[in-house]
């Protein structure tokens, strides 16, 4: 059977990395691609037998490419710190590796948020990117966030039936932090792509469309509280991405503040 490396990208994930690694102890190699965490992420990972490689964060595209390069085996399974491999997904992966029929496989993700499994909102089956692939068959662009990828293979991609789990937001505070972080990275991506001027109405239109797409078209309305919050999170993240892009374009100067003395 083909051997498989797992890479897990991490930064200050001490509260998540243990469970993520526990779910892939069946793999032939576990690589934690860390970006100089300041908590106990590295210590926990090494205690569990993972090999930690330090990669400066220059965007998620570059991070994933370097993480894949650090893997030793011909097949790679990608897992984020907030994801967990399930026994069913593990068995499907191992069975697949006995006689692979493709070079890249999409694996469904089942998301858990606010005490319930999210069935709509675009969160299931949530085929984000191939997560099992032959080394060299997947290459990412150097995007800061929402990284695009190219599949380098003449064989068609395939899809797994059994899902892994994702816990995208442990608390609402984490959701707000992620919206802030990703909107900044998204604004930088717009700048790198040479996007034109951005007005208030452009930012508002993109934000409202993100909410409508998630809440109505993706039927987030059927997911109750979590569905509304996910849609609102998408509105905020999208709106502030364009608002921050506008800020980068303007680079407003600070009004001069001369020394004040007694008249």
Give the pLDDT confidence score for residue 1 in this predicted structure.
78
pLDDT, greater one: 146 or 167 = 167
Contact 53, 5 (CB under 8 A): no
In the 3-class helix/strand/coil scheme, how is 229-261 assigned residue by residue? HHHHHHHHHHHHHHHHHHHHHHCCCCCCCCCCC
For residues 13 and 115, membership in a common domain is answered with yes
Confirm whether 214 is domain-assigned: yes
Query: What gap in Å lies between CA 155 and CA 242, rounded to an integer?
Result: 38
DSSP, residue by residue, 98-113: HS-S-SEEE--EEEEE
Tell me the pLDDT of the chain averaged across its residues.
Answer: 94
Give the pLDDT confidence score for residue 149 in this predicted structure.
93
For residues 162 and 39, membership in a common domain is answered with yes
Tens digit of each residue's pLDDT (9 = 90 or more) over 196-228: 888 999 999 999 999 999 999 999 999 999 999
For residues 110 and 229, membership in a common domain is answered with no
For residues 158 and 182, membership in a common domain is answered with no
Looking at residue 57, which CATH number applies to its domain? 3.90.550.10
For residues 126 and 63, membership in a common domain is answered with yes
Tens digit of each residue's pLDDT (9 = 90 or more) over 168-188: 888 899 999 989 999 999 999
For residues 211 and 94, membership in a common domain is answered with no
Query: What gap in Å lies between CA 235 and CA 204, rounded to an integer?
Result: 9
Confirm whether 260 is domain-assigned: no
pLDDT at 101 over 90: yes
What range defines the domain where residue 122 resides?
4-166
Give the pLDDT confidence score for residue 86 in this predicted structure.
98
Q: Is the N-terminal amide bond of 125 cis, ω within 30° of 0? A: yes
The pTM (predicted TM-score) of the whole model is: 0.86
Among residues 102, 132, 166, which one ends one of the domains? 166
pLDDT at 238 over 90: yes
Count of the separate structural domains present in the chain: 2
């Amino acid at each position: 059977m083909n051997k498989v490396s797992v890479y897990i990208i991490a930064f200050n994930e001490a509260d998540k990395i243990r469970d993520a690694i526990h779910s892939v102890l069946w793999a032939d190699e576990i690589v934690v691609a860390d970006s100089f965490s300041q908590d106990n992420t590295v210590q926990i990972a090494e205690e569990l037998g993972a090999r930690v490689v330090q990669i400066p964060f220059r965007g998620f595209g570059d991070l994933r490419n370097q993480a894949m390069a650090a893997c030793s085996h011909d097949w790679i399974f990608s897992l984020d710190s907030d994801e967990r491999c399930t026994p069913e997904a593990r068995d499907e992966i191992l069975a697949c590796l006995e006689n692979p029929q493709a070079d890249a496989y999409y694996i469904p993700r089942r998301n858990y948020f606010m005490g319930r499994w999210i069935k709509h909102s675009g969160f299931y089956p949530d085929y984000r990117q191939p997560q099992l692939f032959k080394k060299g068959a997947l290459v990412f662009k150097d995007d800061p966030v929402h990284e695009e990828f190219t599949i380098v293979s003449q064989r068609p991609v395939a899809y797994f039936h059994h899902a892994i789990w994702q816990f995208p937001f442990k608390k609402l505070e984490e959701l707000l932090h992620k919206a802030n972080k990703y909107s900044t990275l998204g604004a930088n991506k717009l700048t790198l792509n040479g996007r034109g001027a951005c007005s208030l109405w452009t930012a508002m239109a993109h934000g409202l469309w993100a909410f409508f797409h998630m809440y109505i078209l993706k039927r987030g309305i059927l997911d109750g509280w979590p569905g509304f919050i996910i849609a609102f999170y998408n509105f905020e993240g999208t709106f502030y991405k364009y608002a921050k892009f506008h800020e980068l374009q303007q680079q407003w100067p600070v009004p001069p503040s001369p020394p004040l003395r007694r008249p």
